[in-house]
Amino acid sequence: MTSIGKLAHVRTSTTFSPLTGFPEFPSDWVTGSASHPYEFLQFQPPAAGQTAPVELTTDVVILGSGCGAGVVANKLAAEFGASLNVLVLEKGRHFDASHFPMSPAAGLASLFEAGGVIEVDDGSMTVVAGSCFGGGGTVNWSAALQTQDFVRQEWADRGLPFFGEGGGFQACLDRVYEKMGCKGEVVVPNYANRVLLDGAKELGLQAKIVPQNVRGQKHDCGYCTMGCWKGEKMGPVNGWFPEAAEAGVKFAEGFKVERVLFEQKKQTKVAKGVEGVWTSKEGVEVKVVVRAKRVVVSCGTLWSPVVLMNSGLKVSVPDLAACRATLTACTEPPDRKEPVPAPDQLCLGCL
């Protein structure tokens, strides 16, 4: 509890900015950026006395709106266009680029799972996850690292040869890289990342600069995690969903899926839709059942297993433990100037 309290306090304290020299908002912020003008489904509560859920039918329902969901929705739209009805359900809310970057207090509450701080019981590890339209793709740091060889090999060894050498996964990554604009100008590392690079060199370790998914833009304002105010981070909201929306893919925000529904077909359980609760911005809750021929579960590492278990499926422990570790290093430049120049704000580097 103490460490949760400290974390929450540090991230929302009004003294944080003056003490660290880290301005709450980018000094070069200008108004004007906007996201694609998304429209979200609205559901009417049933008439008084009616308890049956609202029902709708689609071909494919995608649970979650994060990085995985973005790619799937875009690919389905590109392949099938308006001939396939696709619906994306997201429990978080959409915020247009003009709302970004949010203050740490507002951003953590509105864009992240559990207000931004999920601590393991002994306080040794904090898990962060996006929970808004775009999921982690809205709050991540735009570092576009391709899945490393040893991870792909592990997946191949577990019976998924597609991810192993020559299995076809590399071609998929290359297409994603191209589409997300990860091949632009070389990123200029901030002070802390320069320390990491120099340190690695001294130690004889291999270290490289990771590209960003920003279509070659100079992207160093340092506020990615509170939402991209320039709208140039090519995650789901700016990169994958706009084309999908134009091709007819539908979206619902504030829709928490509770379980996947199944029907028995011969010896096999086949997904036939989902049920969940949609909450209007005014707080009115509506129970909804979505009937679908295909169900894609893309609720992220934290919630996909939970949704599947709530649906009566068995999920193994290794699947639950598939989180990616990040270590952060904070440094203070010996010649630190006030105010801290934008790219060196906080001087945070990541490993």
Ligand X SMILES: Cc1cc2nc3c(=O)[nH]c(=O)nc-3n(C[C@H](O)[C@H](O)[C@H](O)COP(=O)(O)OP(=O)(O)OC[C@H]3O[C@@H](n4cnc5c(N)ncnc54)[C@H](O)[C@@H]3O)c2cc1C
Write out the residues near ligand X by the rule CB under 6 A. 63-69, 89-92, 128-132, 135-137, 139-143, 145, 225, 255-257, 298-300, 303, 307
The SS3 call for residue 287 is strand
Residue whose CB is less far from ligand X, 224 or 247:
224
Residue nearer to ligand X on the CB measure, 64 or 349: 64
Q: How far is the CB of 177 from ligand X (least distance, A)?
A: 11
Phi, psi dihedral angles at 97 (to 5 degrees): -55, -25
The least CB distance from residue 18 to ligand X, in Å, is 24
Bridge partners (DSSP) listed for residue 276: 257, 288
List the structure tokens of 315.
């999920």
CB of 338 to ligand X, least distance (A): 27
Shortest Cβ 220–ligand X spacing (Å): 13
- CB-nearer residue toward ligand X: 82 or 322: 322
Q: Computed from CA positions of residues 85, 86, 91, 95, in that sequence, does the dihedral angle turn out positive or negative? A: negative
Nearest to 302 by CA among 314, 319, 316: 319
The distance of closest approach from Cβ of residue 246 to ligand X in the complex, given in angstroms and rounded to an integer, is 21
Nearer to ligand X, 48 or 255 (CB): 255
Q: Which is nearer to ligand X, 85 or 311 (CB)?
A: 311
Residue by residue, DSSP assigns 177-239 as HHHTTTTSSPP---HHHHHHHHHHHHTT----PPPBSSTT-----S-GGG--TTS---SIIII
Token pair of 333 as six digits: 């430049």
Distances (CA, A) of 27 to 24, 107, 141, 190, 289: 9, 18, 19, 17, 46
Query: With respect to ligand X, which residue has the nearer C-beta, 143 or 315?
Result: 143
- Token pair, residue 197, equals 């690079």
Residues 6+ apart with CB under 8 A from 309: 315
Beta-strand relationship, 268-279 and 255-265: antiparallel
Q: Nearer to ligand X by C-beta: 104 or 135?
A: 135
Least Å from the CB of residue 76 to ligand X: 15
- Residue 254: CB minimum distance to ligand X, A: 9
For 240, which DSSP code?
Answer: I
